[in-house]
Every structure is written in structure tokens, then in C-alpha cells.
Chain A
Amino acid sequence: MKYWRVPLDMEEIEVSRGIVHIVEERCKGCGYCIEYCPRDVLEFSPKYNARGYHPPRVKRPEACVNCHYCETICPDFAIYSVEAPPDADPAA
């Protein structure tokens, strides 16, 4: 991330990390989470779910900051994020 000016307490602030969970069966492929993810974490998956929609998949797991926006904008209760444990490798 580029900063316009470096915050004074940058060393002390720990950026939160999140892990995105997708409930593929519920997804109707509207793409709201993909379009409005502020960190561009998601993309359409090429595979279909049981209802014939393309659910999202995680493109950049390390970028998620657990803001929950995907969770709040999803009309289908199909995506949510949880806080990653501090020492976990988010890409794993």
C-alpha cells in the first residue's frame, strides 16, 4: 500500500488479516463482493455451483484485511470473513 505520508505510529499498528469463507451452494453469482472488495481479493471462479452460477473464489488471500464488506453486501449469505490468527500464513 502506498502512503501519502507515513503515519507516525505505523510500526505499532498491526494491520488486521482475514480469511474469506465462501458458501458456494448459496451463491447466485451477482458479483457484488468481487466488484466492491476494497482490496480486490476475489474473482469469479470458472466452475459452477449446484445451481449453475459461478461463485467467487479467493484470488489474493494475503490482501484480505477482514473488513467484512463482502459479508455485508452479499444478498445471499454466501460469503463471510473471519479474523486470521496473528501468526498464520494467510496464503496457506
Chain B
Amino acid sequence: MEKTRTRSEHPLNDLLRTDRIPHIWCPGCGIGTAFSSCLVAVKAAGLDLRKTVMVSGIGCSGRGAGYTKLDSYHTTHGRAIPFATGMKLANPELNVVVFSGDGDLFAIGGNHFIHAARRNVDLTVVCVNNLNYGMTGGQAAATTPSMAKTTTTPLGNPEPPFNLPLLAFAAGATYVARWTILHTRDLTKSIEEALTRRGFSFVEVLAPCPTGYGRRNREKPLDSLKIYQERTITRNGANPAEVTLDFHRGITLGKFVDLERPTFLDAYEKVCSLTQ
């Protein structure tokens, strides 16, 4: 570990707890790339790093909070958004980034997500979608595509997956985008945009999970990236209802929604002013 610290001068080292790197994510796992994009975006957005907080839930992606040298919070399962909301309301000066996975944000934490989006709390939510529950052994999740094989669906998943951009938009998010880890430049720009704007911003990042998902669906990490390259199309402003997660029909990427709406704090202050 000492060796790593002294010999590397990676440009992101100042935002990393380098004593904890190498991280626990598997070879070929996309979370590291999404995390790195997120850190680059935090740097590029020119935020006051002393007032920037990263909040994670539980799961592989939830380890993110532990690797960044920002103030960070590793919360209970599914509750990253409630903790983040509390933080933002207690100290509205903070820039709060939620970095977590699909299982954490949309399965156990699904209700918290939709209500934070409804209230338009000023948060930036980066959801790493690896299509399964990776840390617990590759079980089917709410985002597993139809007919995909997982440990709990060995013959294929009978359920349709969540369309996360549509869910976020329908619940009231004011910024919704989806990218993959192959589209790192768009992804970084998108997270940067989400960080600098007001309101509830949601960025979905498709990432390979070679150990949990890829192994059972005959996808080596590079195969996943090839799919991201060949079966995706970028359509900014596409209707979120038409961007279902179906790898056979092709995946639509892009920035789908960018609206202005009063945030929760704006509305709250307006109500408080009524008493005076």
C-alpha cells in the first residue's frame, strides 16, 4: 500500500483515499469508471470541495463513499437519499451527490427515490445500473432485463425491468440522463451539468458486472462494452417512455429531460414566509 501511495501521481489522487486503493470492485467492473467520471465531474464543476458531500447506500456501488476524500457518508441500505435530503435541508449550502447502485436506489430505496424526485430536493443522484444484485451473488433485481439469466432466474428473467429514466421523469425529476461507462466523456459532462444545476438530477450509468451478471449471460467485460458500442443510440431529448432497457431492440442514451421547477427548499421557504 505504501508503494502505491508514493509511486503514483494519478490526477484523481487528491480526491481519493489512496490508502484504500486498489478498491474491491472486480476486474472489468464498471463502477470504477462511473466513480472516476463522477470525481472528474466534481472537479470540473468547480464546486467548493469543502462543501461537497458524497452519500452512498449499500452494495458494490455503495462503497464509493468510502473511497473519496470528500466528506462522505455510507448509509443504511436504500436510505442514501433520505440521509442526503436531511443533509441538504440542514445545510442548504452543501452540494450533495448520491452515488449508489440500482438495487439500493430502486429496489429497497425505490420509495425514497420517487418522493425525493417529487419534492424536487436539490440533489444529484448517480445510479450505477449493473442489472443485478452484484454484491450478494448476482440475483435478479428490479433492473434485470427480460429473459436475462441470474442466480435466481436460471432459465431467464420472466419480469420486465424498470425503465429508470421514465420512473425518474414521472416522479418529477428535473434532469434525467442515461449513459454507459463506454461513453465516459458524455457521462462526465452530464454529471457535471447535473452538479451545477438546481433541482433533483438523475444520471443512470449502465455498467458491466462481469462476476454477477456477465458470467451467467456469457458476457465477458469487453463483450459488454461492445454491446454498449454497437447497440446503443444517442438521442438527446428522447421521450423517456420510449427508452426501455432492452438490449435486443437497442438502448437509447442521452439527456432526456432538463426542466426548471421550484425546488423543495424554495417551496418550503415560500410556505414559511406566509406566517409572517
A contact set with B: CB distance below 8 Å: 21, 23, 25-26, 28-32, 35-36, 51, 53, 69, 71-78, 80
Contact = CB atoms under 8 A, between A and B. Distances in A.
Interface in B4-35: 4, 7-13, 16, 21-23, 25-33, 35
Given A23-B7, A32-B221, A36-B225, A77 B33 contact: no
Contact of A72 (B3, B4, B28, B185): B185
How big is the B interface, by class? Answer: 20 to 34
B37 interface: yes
A31 B226 CA distance: 13
Contacts, number: 78
B52 interface: no
A73 B186 CA distance: 12
B177 to A, nearest CB: 17
A71 B25 contact: no
Given A36-B225, A75-B31, 9 more contacts: A23-B10, A30-B221, A31-B221, A31-B222, A32-B225, A71-B11, A73-B184, A77-B8, A77-B10
A72 B182 contact: no
Contacts of B33: 32, 72-75
B188 interface: yes
A31 B33 CA distance: 13
